[in-house]
Amino acid sequence: MRRFLKYFFVLLILAFIGIQFIEIEKTNPPIIADINAPAEVKNLFKAACYDCHSNETKWPWYTSVAPLSWIIEKDVREGRGHLNFSEWELMKSDKKAEYKKEIWEEVNEGKMPLAIYTYIHPNAKLDITQKNIIRQWALGNKSN
């Protein structure tokens, strides 16, 4: 049994080393049309959303460690696919309004930022005051 465990752990370590060679794409495409929102709103988005919903993703060292890197890369790819603040100003105003509503919904229900993210980035957790700032922006009638 001890022998088996020994081989098992050696295999596990080799597998861990092996998967590090599977490359992921840590891209940051050009910022084409970054959102033009009041600074207090934008700063919240930058702190809590930009890593997954913009082309300004920060890629610290642990984003290179598989299998965590795979999860992060997928979240960023999917996050950008749903909402990309770096392309926000390309949208027509009715589209923006739609997205604003959706943003407030996600934030209000505590679904965004993703829990896995706030676990690693506790500062990204939005408190009630911060949520209210987003609410006012999202449900107000201003065009930006």
Q: Report CA dihedral (105, 36, 120, 114) to the nearest 10 degrees.
A: 20
Choose between 20 and 43: whose C-beta lies nearer to ligand HEC: 43
Q: CB–CB of 59/113 below 8 Å?
A: no
Beta-carbon contacts of residue 34 (< 8 Å; ≥ 6 apart): 54, 85, 86, 88, 89
Q: Using the structure block, give the residue that is written with the tokens 């965590």.
A: 68
Chain residues that interact with ligand HEC, rule: CB under 6 A? 48-49, 51-53, 75, 78-79, 82-83, 102-103, 106-107, 112-114, 117
User: Which of 51/87 has CB closer to ligand HEC?
Assistant: 51
Q: Provide the minimum distance between the beta carbon of 143 and ligand HEC in the complex, in angstroms, as a whole number.
A: 19
Shortest reach from residue 91's CB to ligand HEC, in Å: 13
Shortest approach of ligand HEC to residue 71 CB, angstroms? 9
